[in-house]
């Protein structure tokens, strides 16, 4: 698959060091275990930290780890808008105040929410402008790459994807550098609950000059975008990993470039499956899939009752209808083009779906690949949010088999979408949602 990674250098990785965490409970236990056993470094990057009992237990584990090991470096990166929602009573920031003086607890604020827009948009709605969306969790030289946040539903009954890569200093160095670059341009939490910019952040994210702020952050991220020194055997290893960042607002488009190559590939011996928590593929990708790609493709996404916004209050309750309408548009377009494209809806009683990732198989060459991380491969990921991804490419038969096992497990609670699906009552889309979906889709 050199065509997919032509401009990047990969890190050699032992295929046995890659493990697939299967359930939300296992994910939570892995986080707790990582915190409790880390000797010199913990980094947690997420959209937000919840405020429930399970999250309190996580913070207590962090407090205990710091107290037991004064040399332990702890860094936490969350989104400013989502992470301070509910403050000063109960929020991510209030949850972490107890360790703020002993750790680097940072909250990134998008430079695109400023001026009149910032003063006029209420909490929740202001998050549509842009977020820090990266989810990676580092414990010494191990890292969990995921799409899951640090919140109770993600620990119990919200299906996501979580992959651990153990004992890889070069890969962890990449994520450590990303954390330091972004936290240096973020607000720092103090023990008294106040948020202040560190001295190294010389331009205010939303009061200062936008171009100066984004230029500075882009320079820091581009400095680490090339893979840290590849291992000596990277040319002969059967498994390579390629970490990268996507952040459109500062002009870093590694994910967009890679997906453009993939979705426009005219190669019939490929098979591609795309999972996304929120079905809203970028028009560019859909145009390529329908008019250029020649391989069979599948999409996996939440049915209305498995969407996190299902039965939400106010306008948010109509968001599942938006995704239904978008899936219907693609279903009909694929039928009209006679394109080999299958849609799968995830529905499991009492569960929601937030899984995301891409599985690529080239059987004739004996090569498989997977993309994993925080992106949903839609408009937000391309142009609004900060995303962290990893591409794993392997010819190792055992790892290829485990990748296929993981993909099939994700399909266990899905059904194939057909014309009858859109005649069901829960798939009936209000006319006004159809009317405005083209405008709304750029924000979700």
Catalytic residue numbers read 133, 135, 140
* Rounded CA separation 248/82 (Å): 20
Q: Quickly tell me which residue has 């899905």 as its tokens.
A: 414
Please answer whether residues 99 and 105 qualify as being in contact, where contact means their C-beta atoms are separated by less than 8 angstroms. yes
Q: Which helix (H) or strand (E) holds 193?
A: none
Rounded (5°) CA angle 145-214-372: 15
- ∠ CA 121-217-281, nearest 5°, is 60
Is 93 in a helix, a strand, or coil?
helix
How far apart CA 55 and CA 244 sit, in angstroms, is 28
Cis peptide before 88 (omega within 30 of 0): yes
Residue 129 belongs to what H/E stretch? Answer: none
3-state DSSP of 202-251: CCCCCCCCHHHHHHHHHHHHHHHCCCCCCCCCCCCCCEEEEEEEEEHHHC
DSSP string, 259-298: HHHHHT---TTEEEEEE-SS--B-HHHHHHHHHT--S-EE
How far, in Å, CA of 149 to CA of 155, rounded?
Answer: 9
Residue 150 CA to residue 45 CA, distance in Å, equals 9
- Cα 170 to its chain centre, rounded Å, is 21
Element (H, E) at 73: strand 73-79
CB atoms within 10 A of CB 77: 25
Distance of CA 284 to the CA centre of its chain: 20
């Amino acid at each position: 698959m050199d065509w997919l990674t032509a401009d990047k250098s990969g890190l050699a990785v032992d295929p046995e060091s890659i493990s697939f965490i299967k359930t939300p409970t296992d994910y939570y236990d892995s986080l707790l275990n990582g915190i409790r056993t880390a000797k010199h470094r913990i980094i947690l990057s997420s959209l937000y930290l919840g405020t429930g009992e399970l999250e309190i237990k996580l913070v207590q584990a962090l407090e205990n780890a710091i107290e037991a090991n004064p040399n332990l470096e702890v860094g936490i990166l969350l989104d400013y808008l989502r992470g301070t929602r509910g403050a000063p009573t109960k929020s991510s920031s209030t949850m972490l105040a107890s360790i703020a003086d002993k750790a680097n607890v940072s909250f990134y604020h998008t430079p695109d929410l400023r001026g009149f827009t910032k003063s006029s948009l209420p909490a929740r709605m202001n998050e549509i402008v842009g977020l820090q969306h990266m989810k990676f969790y580092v414990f010494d030289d191990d890292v969990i790459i995921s799409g899951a946040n640090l919140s109770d539903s993600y620990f119990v009954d919200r299906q996501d994807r979580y992959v651990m890569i153990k004992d890889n200093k070069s890969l962890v160095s990449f994520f450590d550098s990303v954390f330091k670059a972004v936290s240096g341009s973020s607000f720092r939490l103090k023990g008294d609950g106040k948020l202040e910019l560190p001295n190294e952040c010389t331009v205010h994210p939303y009061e200062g000059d936008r171009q100066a702020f984004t230029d500075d952050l882009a320079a820091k991220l581009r400095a680490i975008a090339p893979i840290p020194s590849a291992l000596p055997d990277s040319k002969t290893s059967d498994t390579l990993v390629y970490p990268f960042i996507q952040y459109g607002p500062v002009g870093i488009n590694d994910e967009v470039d890679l997906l453009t190559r993939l979705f426009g590939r005219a190669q019939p011996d490929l098979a591609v499956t795309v999972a996304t928590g929120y079905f809203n593929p970028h028009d560019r990708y859909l145009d390529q899939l329908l008019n250029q790609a020649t391989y069979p493709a599948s999409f996996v996404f939440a049915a209305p009752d498995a969407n996190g916004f299902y039965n939400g209050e106010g306008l948010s309750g109509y968001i599942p209808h938006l995704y239904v309408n978008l899936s219907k548009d693609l279903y009909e377009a694929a039928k009209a083009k006679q394109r080999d494209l299958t849609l799968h809806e995830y529905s499991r009683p009492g569960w929601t779906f937030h899984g995301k990732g891409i599985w690529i198989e080239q059987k004739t060459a004996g090569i498989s690949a997977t993309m994993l991380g925080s992106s949903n491969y839609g408009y937000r990921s391309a142009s609004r949010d900060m995303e962290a991804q990893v591409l794993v490419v392997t010819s190792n038969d055992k790892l290829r088999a485990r990748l296929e096992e993981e993909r099939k497990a994700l399909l266990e609670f899905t059904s194939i979408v057909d014309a009858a699906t859109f005649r069901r009552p829960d798939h009936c889309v209000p006319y006004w949602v159809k009317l405005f979906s083209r405008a709304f889709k750029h924000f979700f």
